[in-house]
């Protein structure tokens, strides 16, 4: 009797060891085919932007000519996407090439009677927002010419298509032949402000400088184009509910649906 019990225990132990060594899987656990092609979901294909502002070291931060000297200051973004970093560095180099000249400009000695001042040029890139595969950045620039009454500033918004790795122009996101309708819809949405600034519908134009705002697409106009210098750059919003039929749906944020729509 005792011998039979030992035999049963030995058999059970052997079965457990075999099961452990062979790596038996639970019945409901899926078997992964290592040779099968791997698919990548949209969620994992589109990166989430991580960004910080960094100072660009300039070889020639102060450049002089017979007209005077200019001080340069540049900051850009450092993100987790290399081609975006390269895009802004290339833009900055092209905007102020003298600041990146390795050989310093020749030192100029000015006459004591010369009325020479110090000009300034500042460029800053910053991250704004992301929804889906659309990411928005801004390039802020400021320039002051010595002796001028005031400096000039400008903000250019840059919208990237992260899926296709390119900058989006206005023509990329609008429906075919929709720009005249967009122009009228934008005027209607901002008619009080435009009429107060004596901007006629017939003379009103669509800006190609835009960004995705909280309540709609925001079209940005340079200094003096629609308003005085004191009022700054003008921003006109086209609500998303008015824009959704005029823009390609893949470039529009998802909107809630209401019963009266």
pLDDT at 200: 96
pLDDT at 42: 47
Sign of torsion over alpha carbons 161, 214, 126, 233: positive
Q: Which CATH superfamily is domain 40-168 in?
A: Fervidobacterium nodosum Rt17-B1 like (3.30.565.40)
Strand-pair category, 234-239 with 68-79: unpaired
pLDDT at 31: 46
Average pLDDT over residues 36-64: 79
Question: Is there a contact between 243 and 164 (Cβ–Cβ < 8 Å)?
Answer: no
Q: Tokens representing 122?
A: 């500042």
Percent of the chain whose predicted confidence (pLDDT) is above 90: 67
127-174 residue pLDDT tens: 999 999 999 999 999 999 988 889 999 999 999 999 999 999 999 999
First-to-last C-alpha distance (Å) of the chain: 83
pLDDT at 64: 85
Topology adopted by domain 169-261:
Actin; Chain A, domain 4 (3.90.640)
- What is the residue extent of each domain of the chain? 40-168, 169-261
Burial grade of 135 (CB within 10 A; 0-12, 13-18, 19 or more): buried
pLDDT at 255: 82
Task: Annotate 183-230 with DSSP letters as a single string.
Answer: HHHHHHHTHHHHHHTT--GGG----S-EEE-SSEEEEEE-TTTSS-GG
202-247 residue pLDDT tens: 999 999 999 999 999 999 999 999 999 999 999 999 999 999 899 9
Average pLDDT over residues 3-27: 44
């Amino acid at each position: 009797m005792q011998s039979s019990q030992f035999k049963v225990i030995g058999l059970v132990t052997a079965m457990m060891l075999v099961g452990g060594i062979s790596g038996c899987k639970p019945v409901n656990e899926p078997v992964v085919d290592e040779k099968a092609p791997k698919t990548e979901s949209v969620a994992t294909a589109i990166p989430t932007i991580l960004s910080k502002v960094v100072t660009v070291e300039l070889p020639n931060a102060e450049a002089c000519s017979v007209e005077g000297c200019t001080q340069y200051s540049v900051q850009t973004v450092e993100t987790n996407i290399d081609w975006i970093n390269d895009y802004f560095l290339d833009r900055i180099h092209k905007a102020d090439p003298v600041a990146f000249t390795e050989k310093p400009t020749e030192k100029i000695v000015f006459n004591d009677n010369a009325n020479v001042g110090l000009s300034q040029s500042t460029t800053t890139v910053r991250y704004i927002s992301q929804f889906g595969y659309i990411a928005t950045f801004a390039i802020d620039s400021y320039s002051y010419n010595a002796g001028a009454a005031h400096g000039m500033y400008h903000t250019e918004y840059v919208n990237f298509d992260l899926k296709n790795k390119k900058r989006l122009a206005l023509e990329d996101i609008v429906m075919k032949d929709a720009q005249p309708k967009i122009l009228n819809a934008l005027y209607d949405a901002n008619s009080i402000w435009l009429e107060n600034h004596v901007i006629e519908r017939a003379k009103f134009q669509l800006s190609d400088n835009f960004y995705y705002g909280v309540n709609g697409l925001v079209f940005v106009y340079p200094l003096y184009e629609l308003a005085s210098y004191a009022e700054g750059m003008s921003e006109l919003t086209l609500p998303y509910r008015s824009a959704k039929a005029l823009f390609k749906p893949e470039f529009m944020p998802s909107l809630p649906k209401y019963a009266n729509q």
